[in-house]
Amino acid sequence: MPIRRRLVLLTTLSALSGLLFAPFIHAGMSIGAVSAVPSLGHLALMFFFGSAVLAGFCSWAGLRLADRAELPMPLLRAWEEGASTPNDALRQILVPAIFGGLAAGLLIASIVHLLPIPLNPGTLTIRLLTVFFAAIVTEIAVHLFAMSGFLLLFHKRWLAIPFSSALFVLIFHSGPIGSPWMTALIIFANFSFGTLTGWLYARYGFECAVLTHGVAHLIALGWN
């Protein structure tokens, strides 16, 4: 199946997501121990082009791998073919994504508030703008690309999903946070969330994983 339309769409959305993510990084660097903070304009360009290159490659490879692995992608495949999307398919994506995202977002936000974890930098608007980068770029790299590849390698979803979840943890774990048990809890939470979105991708489609990630991130960052 051709991938051109899906590739252009995902790469464009990723580049725009990187642009919106730059203010969050700038806010964090401004209050951190960075001696020379780049201007917001420079960071925006870096994340715009960096996201386009990274997500463009992962989308190109991931779409091919996902098609070979026959992983579901109902909305994107229908759009690629210029076909209309059945209402049942849309409902099957929205319902688990909303409920899964709400549950994961509330759990993550609760953990953040219970533990002495530093608050995220930036205003509420700046934090909420990161939802697009987190949902789109992360899911493209971790699940569309990596999990699809693991599935073709192992031929078993129960192996591909945890392997991609471990990759999710490696990408986002920045080192020890407080006590060892606190660090272990954060690792477990990230692994569990990666497993949830990976399973939703395999069961309902890549779009469901992206939406679930977006809803969870919106709640967690909006609350914090």
Q: For residue range 101-148, what is the model confidence (pLDDT) as tens digits?
A: 999 999 888 887 777 676 777 888 999 999 999 999 999 999 999 999
Whole-number pLDDT of residue 177: 63
- Number of C-beta neighbours around residue 133 at 10 A: 24
- What's the whole-number mean pLDDT along residues 33-41? 78
- What's the whole-number mean pLDDT along residues 96-100? 96
Whole-number pLDDT of residue 58: 97
Question: Quick check: 106 and 192 in contact, CB under 8 A?
Answer: no
The ranges assigned to domains in the chain are 4-223
Under DSSP, the state recorded for 201 is H
- What's the whole-number mean pLDDT along residues 180-193? 85
For residue 33, pLDDT over 70 is answered with no
Q: What pTM was computed for the model?
A: 0.93
Question: Quick check: 120 and 30 in contact, CB under 8 A?
Answer: no
